[in-house]
Amino acid sequence: MLKKIFLISIITIIACMTISCGVDYAFSPYYKDSNENKDYVLKMEEQKELDVRFALVESYQTSGDGTGRVYRNPSFVGSSYGYLLAFYEYRKYSGEIGIDGEIICDIQIKKSSNGKTFDSFGSTIGKAATSGTNSHGSPVSFYANNKDLVLLSSSGMGFSNNDEGESKISISKSYDNGSKWSDWIDIDDSVFSDLKTQGFDRFYPVSGNGITLSDGTLACALDIGSTNNKGATGKTVKHLGFAILYSRDNGENWKVGGVHKYSEEDSYKNAKIIARTSDKSLLIVASPKTSGDAKWFKASDLTSSINEWSEGAKIESNGGKIEGTKLRGGNRIILTYADTNNNLWIAVSEDEGRTFETYKKELHDKLGYNSTVRGLIDGTIVFFFEFTIRNSIDNNTLYKLNYRRISVNWLTDGTQDYYVGW
């Protein structure tokens, strides 16, 4: 009888460990099956004071008219089978925006299997652009629940104030962990018919990382505008608001959800979905058009109305993209942004965005702008960000894209280590 009770107890403990109590072993950061290669996964002792940083790509100019190799708008994702993937725009001209129907622009990728070194040269996603009309930019990356890698891009006329042509959003997929990518396919124009009916005929996905919700839904934000509301200068239309774009079938089909129009046109831009909060609401932040305080929003679901959220933390931004993430199973929100002095920060919220003061560190002093952040399966955190440099030909502003990987141990000055649920 005692042997039977002991056997039942052991079975119960094993079931509890693998199914319902605490960490599900099959999905823990250190679980590997024989087909997986996760050389970039670090054990806890390897994460002590982890702070790896280096430049991934650097823009340069070859003539005074802006011609050269211009790299911008980073995005980053990790596949479960061993690769870290860095995406970015490669423009052949230093223009105001990457996609306007004129500038030639591609999205390139660099891969790493160990998290320490990346490909020496970037590879172009899809067919290389030959004109502004078949260019792609503003990458948004997702890791889908079926393990596909999904990449969205702006195409067509993007956010151009040119009256001719259509704004388009294209998609490419990888089914082999990022080694090969499909040719770009435009999302059907009918998906955006309601936006156009509301007068928003210009839109683009805000570059960086998309969000994969717990039910597998892929979602990101679109900045929206109209050729009837052109900017006072430059080639873009005014930023009038943003919309949610989502897919419930791993990127096969897409829909436009909630739409928000700013109370003051051209006051904000670069809307990003930061996280889903404990009440299942979507937490969204938009950068100021130039420099000032960011604006917070909440939506109860993907298709509901989007409302300003006055409880959000005060974030002073230089207008660059603000992005956030959560670590696996956790509720803390990790935010990255460049402040009004162009210093790049990492900040952590333990109260779902109301404050970001628990842990806060400077990632890069001066010259920071767009940044993206992604939590990896081992609990380490990757930042892929741009900061400005000056060209020697005419002192024109260009950008260098930097990679930085840190640990919870580094972020908390050695007081904490990562655990599932941090």
How far apart are the C-alpha atoms of 247 and 171, rounded to whole Å?
Answer: 12
347 - beta bridge partners? 335, 360
CB distance 139 to 153 below 8 Å: yes
CB 219 within 8 A of CB 273: yes
Contact 300, 280 (CB under 8 A): yes
Q: What pLDDT does 393 receive? A: 58
- pLDDT by 10s per residue, the chain, length 422: 444 444 444 434 333 333 333 222 222 232 333 335 568 999 999 999 999 999 999 987 666 555 778 899 999 998 867 789 999 999 987 766 789 888 899 999 999 999 999 999 999 999 999 999 999 999 999 999 999 999 999 999 999 999 999 999 999 999 998 999 999 999 999 999 999 999 999 999 999 999 999 999 999 999 999 999 987 667 889 999 999 999 999 999 999 999 999 999 999 999 999 999 999 999 999 999 999 999 999 999 999 999 999 999 999 999 999 999 999 889 999 999 999 999 999 999 999 999 999 899 999 877 889 999 999 989 999 999 998 876 655 657 788 999 999 999 999 999 999 999 99
Length of the chain: 422
Query: Does pTM top 0.85 for this prediction?
Result: yes
Kindly tell me the sign of the dihedral angle through the C-alpha atoms of 339, 278, 301, 204: positive
Structure-token pair, residue 150: 């999904």
360 within 8 A of 333, measured Cβ to Cβ: no
Token pair for 38: 């996760």
Query: Whole-angstrom Cα distance, residue 329 to residue 307?
Result: 27
Show the 3-state SS of the chain.
CHHHHHHHHHHHHHHHHHHHCCCCHHHCCCCCCCCCCCCCCCCHHHHCCCEEEEEEEECEECCCCCEEEEEEEEEEEECCCCCEEEEEEEEEECCCCCCCCCCCEEEEEEEECCCCCCCCCCEECCCCCCCHHHCCEEEEEEECCCCCEEEEEEEECCCECCCCCCEEEEEEEECCCCCCCCCCEECCHHHHHHHHHCCCCEEEECCEECEECCCCCEEEEEEEECCCCECCCCCEECCCEEEEEEECCCCCCCEEEEEEECCCCCCEEEEEEEEECCCCCEEEEEEECCCEECEEEEECCCCCCEEECCCCCCCEECCCCCEEECCCCCCCEEEEEECCCCCEEEEEECCCCCCCCCEEEEEECCCEEEEEEEECCCCCEEEEEEEEEECCCCCCEEEEEEEEEECHHHHCCCCCCCCCCC
What is the pLDDT, as a whole number, of residue 79? 81
Q: Count Cβ atoms within 10 A of the Cβ of residue 2 and give its class: 0-12 exposed, 13-18 middle, 19 or more buried.
A: exposed
Q: Hey, what amino acid is at 406?
A: I
- Sorted by sequence, the CB contacts under 8 Å of residue 265 that are 6+ apart come out as 229, 238, 239, 240
Predicted pLDDT at 333: 97
Q: According to the model, what pLDDT value does residue 110 have?
A: 97
Give the pLDDT score at 93: 79
Q: Tokens 């597998």 sit at which residue? A: 216
At 2 the pLDDT is: 42
Let me know: does 88 contact 387? Beta carbons within 8 Å: no
